[in-house]
Structure 1
C-alpha cells in the first residue's frame, strides 16, 4: 500500500507543477505596479501599496513623466490646485538643465505688473500652480515675466502644466540643486508675493532668501510640475 501511495504522489507532482504566490519583488528606484507608492527599506526603493489603476513610482533624482528631474516625493497625497493631479499629487519634478528642452535661466521681472498684488501669496508646497495662474491672469502681466516664462515651457515631453514654484517648492529645488545640476549660485524668483511690489527670491549659493522688488531682473528658476 505504501508503495502505491508513493507512486501516486510522484504522478501528481509530475502532472501539476508547483506554483508560487509570493509577494511582488520591489527594487530600488522606479517600480511599475498598481496604486499609490510607498517607500520601503533602507535603499529607499518604492513598492505599490494597493491594486488599482496602473501607476509608476519614481525616486528623487530620476527622470519624471514630463522629462524633468524628480525633486520631491510624498507618500501622503498633496493638493496642487489647477495641476493635472489635483488633490492626488505625490511628486514634483523640475525642468532639466541639460539635453533637449533644457531650461536656460532667463533673467526676468517677476511679472509685467510690478506695483499691484495679484493674490499669489501661497508659500507652501502645493501652491505654486495657483500662484502662477493668478500672476499670468492679471491684466498687463505680459509674456516676459517669470511666471509667464514658466507657464510657456513645455519640456522634453510636451507637458503644458509647468509652473513657477512657490517659496517652499523653490526651497525643495535648492535642496536638490546638485541633483538637478546647472543651477549655480544665482538668486531665483519664486511665485510667492509679499505685497503689491515685492516677491520672494532665494539665493542658490547659500539658500538665503528675501522679498525683493518685482521689477528686478532676477533669473527664473527651472519650472516645476506636480504629478
Structure 2
C-alpha cells in the first residue's frame, strides 16, 4: 500500500491486509483527542495518557477489514493493529510535542497501549512518557498533537462547540490552571490548506498551524 504520508497509513490501519489504496481518495479525516497528564510518586510529570477516537468512516472501514481477515478474531486483529499503530507513531514522535516553559521535552518509548472498539469508533489509547520526569512548580506545560501534513485533523473532545472538561485532566500538585487553546493560523496558511485536493497532504509542518494547544499553567 502506498500512502501519502506515514500518518495516513497509520489511521488507515497501516498495512495492505487491512485496507485498500482506494480508501485514500476521500476528504481528510479527524481524531478526537483527550489527554490525562500523569505524575509519579515524587509529584513530577512523567507521562501523557492519550486517548484517540478515530472518525466514524475510518473506524467503519478498519472494522470491516478486520472482520473479513481470515484466521483471526476481531480482538486479535485489534491487538495487532494497536502494535502497528504504536510502531508507526514511534517514527513520528507519536505526533506529539511537549514543552515546559517553552523548552521542548524529549519523549520516551511507548510500551503501554491498546486498540479497541467503542460505540462503533476505533479507539487507540497509549501512555507517552517523558524521557525525564519534570517538576511543574512555577512552570507552564504545553503540548500539541498533530499530523504534520494536515491530512488528519486532531481536535480535543468537544461538547456544544467547546472542549469537554475531561478533554484535559491533571490531578497533581501544585494546583494549576488548565486550558485548551484553539489554533489561530495565518489566513495564507488557511488558504494553502484549502487548496489541497481531497487525496493530497500538505507540506510537512502544515499541521502545526492548525493544532490546538493544551496547557497546564502552574506559575
* Fold match by TM threshold 0.5: no
Higher relative contact order (CA 8 A, sep 6+): 2
More helix by share: 2
Asked which structure has the greater CA Rg, the reply is 1
More strand by share: 2
TM range (shorter): under 0.3
